[in-house]
Structure formats: structure tokens, C-alpha cells
Structure 1
Amino acid sequence: MAVNKELVLVTGATGFIGFRTLIETLKAGYRVRAAVRNQGGIDKIKKAASTQAYLGQLEFVLVPDILKEDAYREAVVHVDYIIHLSSPTTNLEREPSTDEEIEKMLIQPAVKGTMNMIEAASTYSPTTKRMVITSSIVAIVEWPEMHMETGNVFNEQSRTENIHGPFGGLFPAYGRGKVAALNATEEYMRTQKPHFEINHIGPSFTVGKDELATTRAEILAGTNGAALGHVVGAAKGMKTPSSSVFVNDVARMHVLALDPRIAGGQFFLGVSEGSNTRWEEAFDTVRKHFPKAVESGIFPLNGDNTTKRLIFDNEYTKRVLKIEFANFEEQVKSVAEQYLALEN
């Protein structure tokens, strides 16, 4: 494909979804400026197999602290589009012990990191036409609904209000950070009316090969753990909502949402299987595709992950982005293949 002269700033490119989005953006023909925190991130991206064909389209900018005022001042200069994936996760170096620490370490950074990017584009990048921001299904669902199986149906128009502590754990706090970031962004767009548009992508539990992961533990540490944790016996007593999506599809959604033929100001839902993912079916997938790994005990199938029904209607997303989502079998097969390829 011919290289597009338009330049896309991509943040979070060393992350699970971020790296795959970087590759899909390059594959689409865009030039890409990847914002990373340190030289180690640059080296990791440059060495990856998927990057090799596109190094001529790729440049880097260091942004050591996304929460610092004017953090993205240099990064946004002369860019046409921005894909903003960088955001705090629950994989923290130190686990917070109080609600005040959770607020400081998860909630506030989720909002400030996003608003820093939006304000930088507003102030320093008159060339920016559109931004695509990674959100989550947890940004539009009241936390109790995640596991209560109420039968309520959520779609691209669903929203929920900001909630402050007590948070009840890291993952609920992560969700509330996503709620606060989405609400702050949409309020900014309503009141400040900047020169660019914003679309949001809301993935569900994202599953698939994590190319930058180098150990089996790294694979299980993220949302891939919901698909494979019980297969390897590392997850017992889990209860996970019935919504998953292939990482490649989420990455493609970010690129598709840049298209000026698609209206801005929208939220698109990354959910496969019509919200009918059944995590227990990962056992059937590995039995079918990796019988020797089951027989040898690499996949002992002695964990459990109970599916809790959570319903999304993303027919609008599929129609507007013209995307069909890979099924759960393909998702599990992708991550299981990588797990087997790694030695530890």
C-alpha cells in the first residue's frame, strides 16, 4: 500500500492494544509518530517482527510523564490525527491501600492523561483533524451491572455518572477512571468546541496475541488471563462478563474511526459474539486445536471462569465501521499459540 502523507500520533504503543493499533495504522499507509516513555520502549517496538516492514514510516517522540503539564506539547506538532491509547491500568508497581491512593493513582491519572492530550492538540496542533481515544465497556456500564445479570442491554449511547469512593478494589476503580475520562472528554467537546473531532473506542475483554510479551506470565497478567487463566489452572473462582473481542479487531476499529467519512463525536463498541462469549468454551478450543498440550499438562484445564451474562448491542458499530468481529474460538487460539511458543 502507498504511504499516506498524513501523520498519526499514537500513544501507548508498547501496550497490548497499543502495539497492535500501531501496526494496523502503519498497514493502512499512514506515517506514524509513536509517543513512548523511554528509549527501552523505542527499542522494543523497533525490534518487533511486525514493525520491520514499516520502519520507514515510523518516528518516535519521548513523553516520559503523561501527567505532566504540557506533556504532549512537542508530540502533537504537525500531526493530522491522534490515536490516544495511553492510560493507567491495574498493573501498578505498588498496590494502593486506601481509596485516597486509588483516586490518586488510577482515577485522576485516567482523566488528566486524556485531558492533557486534548488540551495539547487544542493549543499546539492546528493541523489535527480528529482524535480517537481508547475507552472501555466499563465506561458506559454501572459497576454493579457487570456481574448482576440484570438483562439490561447497553449500546453506544449508554452512559453512566461519575462515582467516587469507596471503590471496592482496583478493577472497579479502573472502571470508574474510564467513566470519568469519557465524561470529562465529552463535556470538553460540548463546552470548548475545539477545531478537531473525537471518536471513542470501547473494547470489552480483549483477547489475542500480545506480540511484545516475552513470558507466559506477561500474557496472563492482562485481559488474556480471562481467556487462558482457567485453561492453565492459574484462575480459580473467576466470574467474568460475557463480552470479549479480538485484539486485531480493536486495533482496526481505531484506524477505521479516523476516516473522515465517518462522523466524529461517536462511541464505538468492541464486542464479539453478540455478547455471547462463554469463557468455559476455551476448554473446547484448546482440546480441538492443541490436544498434545492438553495431554502433556501444559493446558491442564483445571481452573474455572464462570460466565456472567452482560448484554451489549453493537449493531450500530458494526454497520458504521463495516466490521465483523472474530469469534471467541479465534481469539483463544491466537493467545494459546503464543503461550505455547514461549518457554516460561
Structure 2
Amino acid sequence: MADDTILITGGTGFIGQHTIIAALAAGFRVRTAIRSLDRADEVGAYLAHGGAEPGERLSFVETDLLKDEGWAEAAQGCVYAIHSASSTPSGNYASEEDWIRPAVDGNLRLLRAARDAGVKRVVLTSAFGAIGAGKASPGRPFTEEDWSDLDGHIAPYQKSKTLAECAAWEFIAENGNGLELATINPTAVMGPALGPDTSHSLMMLKGMLEGQPGQPRIQSCFVDVRDVADLQLRAMTDPAAAGERFLATSGDALWLVQVAEILKERLGEQARKVSTMQVPDIAMKAKAMVDPKVKALLPLLGIDLLANGEKAKRVLGWDPRPPADAIEAAARSMIEVGIVKV
């Protein structure tokens, strides 16, 4: 109920900050976990940019996904917890283990602390990367019944999200002692950036807006970060969400050329550098021989990544924005806060 204290980890992150804003607007008191309290003022500025005026209803606690210290204090007295903190593709990681350990160990630290503190339910921010990676399209939209193939061609980030979510469900089954779990699995997250420290999903728009020469034959589903935050709160409080996974996705999958076309249509002169040319697969393969980042994209060429978000709508009454609106909001905000120079 409103005025309860909830823990939201990942307070420096794109999804975490929008979830804090939504939780405060719903009347909750929020304790947010960040890796360094030195960033508390910065986070406060981002939240203010998003319209939040939390006052004493927001507090900060310092935790690290790779350290035990601070987690018990973070969870103490909280009715619910939303775990958004994880390693993301925007970080610099030397090995696969650098991705996996923070994701898996961080989940387990949060779950143990939540269980021991008597938290009712944890909502885990997982990813589509735990559902549709490492394999070809199933010939139908991906659903919550699907899991990524760890033996397939899977990127370290997607592997880390899959292993971390699996570890969370296993913990609940074997050691949860009544702690409830729900997971949210967003596709590419768009929507308004609150500051220059933002999500890896928005970086695909940055390249387009700054004039990258054409778009690879890759598609994705999209969702607005504000709708992810809304879904996390619904999954936190609705009894029907306990023990369930929910894909956070809106509308049809879009090819990147279609995303470029949306930018040109919605932003006009500000999208003058955006190219709607499709880069041939053969050109991508040639570039991949000298560019590891391009090589990592090759398994996605031509793959149907349509995902079905009907479960969240049916079970939790979720009503997300259309993907074009989320993409436009992201692009305009990136220009406003200076992430993109047009």
C-alpha cells in the first residue's frame, strides 16, 4: 500500500530512475541502492529532471553486486524490492565472467537479503536477452515460455541475463522460504533520457541521428521506459504476478530501417542526418572482419525478433505506448540533454 518503503536497486540506471519516479508518484517511500553514495546528488538531479520532488521520501544506500556489505541494511524494513541493477552493454568488461558474476551474484545477494528481511516480493528486471537469444526465431512470436539457448551464439550480456534469471528462480524454489518473485523481460527500451548517463538501447538512435551510413538488416521490438516502470510496479503489487515472467514489449518488431523512417517522420530537420538506406548483409560481413562490434551483430541479421506482450496486458492490465512514440520520446530527450548533437 502507499507509504510503504520499497527498495529499488540500480538507482543510477535508466530503468531504475524511471521506476523510482513512478514509485514516488504512486505514494511509496523509496530506498534506492547505488554503488557509490557520491552519485546521490547526480541521481537526485536526474529524478528532478523527470519531474520527481521526493524530499524525505527518497533515501540512498550503498551496495555492490560483488560484495556482501550493505545488502541487509538495504532490504531492512522494505515491503517490496525491485532489482534493476546489473551489468549492461554500456560497461567495459574484459571477459565473459565480468558480465556473469555481477548479474548472478548480485541477484542472489539481493534475494537473500530480501528473504531475511521479510520482504514480500521481489521484481527482477531481467531482459528479452533471457528469452530470445542464441537461437533462430521459433516461427511465432517469442513468449514468456521461451528461454535463450546458452549453447547457441549468444552474447555475454544475454548469457548473463539468462543465467542470472535462472539462478533467481532456482533460489526461490529451493531457498525462498515464502519470498515471491516476478520477472520483467523488456525488449529494447526507449523513452525519455533523464541525463547523459543512459541506456545502451538508446545508443542505436544516437548512431542514426549522428549520421551513420545506413542501417543493418536487424529488427527489434521496443518499449517505453515509463511503461517498463509501470509494469514493474504492477508486478510488485498484483497478487496474480507472483511466480510469473512478463515480456515488456509494445507493438510489432521493427527493422532498423523502419526506426530510421520514424525518426525522419517525427523529428523533421533534427533527423536530417538519419539514413534510411539498408546496409547489405555482405557489407556487414566484410566489415565484421576488422570490427569486433560489427561481428557481434552478425547473428542478428535477418532474424525475426517479434515478441508477444499480451500476457502483461491480460494479467496485469498493462497499457503501453506505441513503439513509435517511445522512439520519438527517446530521440527528442537525447537531443535535449546533449547526448546527441544534430
Matches within 5 A, 1:289-328: 289-294=266-271, 297=272, 299-301=273-275, 308-328=303-323
**Mapped pair 1:28 → 2:23:** no
Structure 2 counterpart of 1:241: 219
TM-score by length of 2: 0.84
Alignment-derived partner of residue 7 in structure 1: 5
State the partner residue of 2:174.
Answer: 191
What SS does the aligned partner of 2:237 have? Answer: coil
- 1:18 maps to what in 2? 16
| Aligned counterpart for 1:132 among listed residues 109, 118, 123 | 123
**Alignment gaps of 5+ in structure 1:** none
Q: Which secondary structure state, in structure 2, belongs to the residue aligned with residue 242 of structure 1? A: strand
Question: CA separation in 1, counterparts of 2:149 and 2:327?
Answer: 34
* Alignment-derived partner of residue 186 in structure 2: 203
Distance 1:52 1:251, change over 3 A: closer
Is the partner of 1:26 in helix, strand or coil?
helix
Matched, 1:72 2:50: no
2:57 maps to what in 1?
57
Give structure 2 stretches of 5+ with no counterpart. 280-300
Q: How many residues align?
A: 316
- Kindly state the Cα deviation for residue 188 of structure 1 after the two structures are TM-superposed: 1.4
Deviation at 1:230, TM superposition (A): 2.5
AA paired with 2:267? F
Q: Which aligned pairs between 1:16-165 and structure 2 lie closer than 5 A?
A: 16-48=14-46, 49=48, 50=50, 52-63=52-63, 65-93=64-92, 95-96=93-94, 101-103=95-97, 105-123=98-116, 125-126=117-118, 128-145=119-136, 149-160=137-148, 162-163=150-151
1:295-314 per-residue CA deviation (whole Å, 9 max, x = no partner) reads xx4x3436757774213222
- How much identity, in percent, do the aligned residues show? 26
Alpha-carbon distance in 1 for matches of 2:208, 2:302: 12
Residue 184 of structure 1: how far off its partner (Å): 0.9
Structure 1 residue ranges, 4+ long, deviating more than 3 angstroms after superposition: 160-163, 234-241, 302-308
**Partner of 1:155: helix, strand, or coil?**
coil
Q: Which residue of 1 aligns with 2:335?
A: 340
Take 1:190 and 1:248, find their aligned partners in 2: how far apart are those partners? Answer: 31
User: Is the deviation greater in 76-85 or in 313-322?
Assistant: 313-322
Query: Is 1:212 aligned to 2:204, yes or no?
Result: no
Matched, 1:181 2:164: yes
Q: How far has the Cα of 1:291 moved from its partner?
A: 1.9
The offset of 1:69, in angstroms, is 2.4
Q: CA deviation at 1:320?
A: 1.0
CA drift of 1:236 comes to: 4.8
Alignment of 1:254 with 2:232, yes or no, is: yes
Using the alignment, how far apart are the partners of 1:304 and 1:21 within structure 2? 35
> Could you tell me how far 1:151 is from its partner in structure 2?
1.8
Q: Give the RMSD, CA atoms, in angstroms.
A: 2.5
Q: Secondary structure at the match of 1:198?
A: strand
